[in-house]
């Protein structure tokens, strides 16, 4: 996992440090909406519906989401108004797994997700999966909103999942 983060940082530095272009990096949240696994009939929605997407450990890992239509709008705004730098393209409501996963289950008419210990989650999802479920940090879209003149139409995953 550390190697992956180091590789991402290296790539971001290369893009924003490029002298031949105005390097812009867009860090997208977890995609949801048509054509994604987090959509009606999508793989992850079906896992939630069947109670096969558990809350791992504390479920304190904070996820940031973005509807695919909002991601497209932000990308266009970055092309038109962006300057060298890194922008988080996420909605306004980062949330811990322990909050968003049960809410999604309710919206799908499913039973509450199971809870499993972190060590069990690590066996099935690996260390990276366990970290995402228990330690991840959400992201702020304040810079993208301010500098790009962009705002997500789906301000929160709560409304976005429902639509």
Per-residue pLDDT of 42-59, as tens digits, reads 899 999 999 999 999 999
What single DSSP character describes residue 40? T
Q: In the prediction, which pLDDT does 94 show?
A: 96
Please compute the mean of the pLDDT values over residues 155-159 and round it to a whole number.
91
Task: Please state, in angstroms and rounded to a whole number, the distance separating the CA atoms of residues 44 and 113.
Answer: 13
**Mind listing the domains of the chain with CATH numbers?**
24-162 (3.40.50.720)
Q: In the prediction, which pLDDT does 18 show?
A: 80
Q: How confident is the model at residue 144 (pLDDT cuts 50, 70, 90)?
A: very high
Q: What is the dihedral of CA 145, 150, 152, 155, to 10 degrees?
A: 40
Please compute the mean of the pLDDT values over residues 26-48 and round it to a whole number.
92
Mean pLDDT lowest for which of 4-13, 42-51, 95-104, 125-134? 4-13
Burial label, 119 (beta-carbon count in 10 A; 0-12, 13-18, 19+): exposed
Per-residue pLDDT of 92-108, as tens digits, reads 999 999 999 999 999 99
């Amino acid at each position: 996992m550390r190697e992956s983060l180091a590789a991402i940082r290296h790539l971001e530095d290369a893009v924003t440090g490029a002298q031949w272009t105005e390097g812009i990096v867009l860090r997208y949240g977890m995609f949801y909406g048509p054509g994604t696994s987090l959509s009606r009939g999508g793989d992850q929605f079906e896992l939630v519906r069947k109670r096969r997407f558990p809350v791992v450990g504390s479920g304190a890992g904070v996820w940031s989401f973005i509807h695919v239509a909002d991601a497209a709008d932000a990308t266009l705004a970055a092309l038109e108004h962006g300057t060298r730098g890194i922008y988080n393209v996420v909605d306004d409501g980062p949330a811990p797994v322990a909050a968003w996963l049960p809410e999604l289950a309710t919206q799908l008419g499913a039973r509450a997700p199971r809870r499993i210990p972190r060590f069990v989650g690590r066996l099935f999802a690996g260390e990276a999966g366990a970290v995402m479920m228990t330690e991840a940090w959400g992201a702020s879209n304040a810079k993208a909103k301010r500098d790009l003149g962009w705002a997500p139409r789906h301000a929160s995953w709560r409304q976005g999942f429902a639509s």
